[in-house]
Amino acid sequence: MADQEKADIRLEFAKLRQEHSDLDMAINAMAAIGCDPLAIQRMKKKKLAMKDRLKELDDQLVPDIIA
């Protein structure tokens, strides 16, 4: 993998990690004030999708070496 590709993946990873964290804080705030449970559930689903994408990006950066 080229250095530019790795840099692009790292950048996307950092952005997604920040969005994931922000979404987590928003979910906690919404739950604390008693917002619509359906809206909270949708946000949790989006957060889970972000987590899956973060795992995919991490797998691209870290080679799977069997020792």
Residue type, 50: M
pLDDT tens-digit readout, 8-48: 999 999 999 999 999 999 999 999 999 999 999 999 999 99
Q: In the 3-class helix/strand/coil scheme, how is the chain assigned residue by residue?
A: CCHHHHHHHHHHHHHHHHHHHHHHHHHHHHHHHCCCHHHHHHHHHHHHHHHHHHHHHHHHHCCCCCC
Please tell me the predicted confidence (pLDDT) of residue 48.
Answer: 97
Please tell me the predicted confidence (pLDDT) of residue 67.
Answer: 63
Q: Is the pTM of this model over 0.85?
A: no
Q: Counting Cβ atoms within 10 Å, is residue 24 exposed (0-12), middle (13-18) or buried (19+)? A: middle
Residue type, 65: I
Q: Regarding predicted confidence, which is higher, 65 or 32?
A: 32
Please tell me the predicted confidence (pLDDT) of residue 65.
Answer: 76
Please tell me the predicted confidence (pLDDT) of residue 62.
Answer: 86
């917002």: which residue's tokens?
Answer: 35
